[in-house]
């Protein structure tokens, strides 16, 4: 089955072709390399881990350059390419992708781009499909707002009484939960709470379900700059329940708050 492509255009970075595969956004690798001015795109793509890239069949409409089989990268793969770029504007590119492209793909399964408008002109039925996606998203937002209103008193209490210093790094959190650190990290990667950067740092995905679970602190040493992920008290409790449900292991009854 071929994957339909949506093209995102930006005056600074040009065109980036994307595909929604199993409800996750994927990006055409050569487009990302071009936008980031990565000279040897083949070499950069070859360095990605196997789970960060794949070859997929692109629809003829989204691929007018001959070969329908193209390499696409997921979010971790995208971030790996961004970090490998020496272009000063790489940070701005990442912000456009993470704050504009990805949220719109996840909300509607598409984006009102020029390519989508062309599809609607050729296939009027597409607008019905797009409208249905918008209706579903609107209903989902309403449901979330109701949940938010119900949870607000508890959230206010949490904000007032939880000390940010209660946040702990991965190793300490694993010890608190009585889980071997290696097993804990494997679980976080498998469940897509975290991904490993090219430098080996474990960082959280930028998605709604991770909101409030982690904080990332930057640090600078004499010869190294990096980031470290910390679990909030809320994050510890969410992960504790998820791990217990997935792995069937009885953990500590509750994280101390």
pLDDT at 160 over 50: no
pLDDT at residue 121, rounded to an integer: 64
- Mean predicted confidence (pLDDT) in 28-35: 92
pLDDT-derived band at 182, boundaries 50, 70, 90: very high
How do residues 218-240 score in pLDDT, each as one tens digit?
776 555 567 889 999 889 989 98
- The pTM of the full predicted model, rounded to 2 decimals, is 0.45
Is beta strand 225-231 parallel, antiparallel or unpaired with respect to 214-220? antiparallel
- Mean predicted confidence (pLDDT) in 38-64: 79
pLDDT at 152 over 70: no
pLDDT at residue 171, rounded to an integer: 92
> Could you give the angle at the alpha carbon of 119 between the alpha carbons of 114 and 124, nearest 5°?
125
Contacts for 137 with CB less than 8 Å, ≥ 6 apart:
107, 108
pLDDT at residue 206, rounded to an integer: 82
pLDDT at residue 211, rounded to an integer: 83
pLDDT at residue 119, rounded to an integer: 60
67 vs 87, residue with greater confidence? 87
pLDDT at residue 199, rounded to an integer: 73
Residue for token pair 């390419």: 81
CA 182 to chain centre: 23
- Mean predicted confidence (pLDDT) in 7-19: 87
């Amino acid at each position: 089955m071929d994957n339909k492509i949506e093209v995102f255009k930006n005056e600074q970075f040009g065109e980036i072709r994307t595909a929604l595969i199993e409800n996750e956004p994927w990006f055409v690798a050569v487009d990302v390399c071009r936008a980031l001015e990565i000279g040897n795109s083949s070499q950069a793509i070859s360095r990605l881990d196997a789970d960060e890239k794949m070859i997929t069949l692109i629809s003829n409409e989204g691929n007018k350059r001959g070969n329908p089989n193209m390499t696409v990268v997921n979010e971790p793969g995208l971030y790996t390419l961004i970090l490998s770029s020496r272009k000063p504007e790489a940070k701005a590119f990442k912000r456009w992708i993470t704050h504009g492209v990805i949220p719109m793909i996840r909300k509607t399964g598409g984006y009102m781009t020029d390519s989508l408008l062309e599809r609607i002109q050729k296939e009027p039925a597409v607008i019905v499909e797009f409208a249905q996606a918008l209706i579903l998203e609107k209903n989902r937002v309403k449901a979330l707002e109701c949940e938010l209103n119900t949870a607000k008193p508890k959230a206010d209490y949490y904000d007032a009484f939880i000390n940010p210093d209660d946040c702990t790094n991965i190793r300490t959190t694993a010890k608190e939960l009585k889980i071997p650190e290696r097993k804990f990290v494997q679980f976080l990667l498998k469940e897509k709470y975290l991904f490993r950067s090219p430098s080996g740092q474990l960082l959280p995905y930028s998605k709604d379900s991770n909101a409030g679970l982690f904080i990332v602190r930057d640090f600078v040493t004499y010869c190294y700059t990096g980031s470290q992920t910390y679990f909030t008290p809320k994050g510890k409790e969410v992960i504790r329940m998820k791990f217990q449900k997935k792995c069937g292991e009885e953990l500590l009854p509750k994280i101390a708050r």
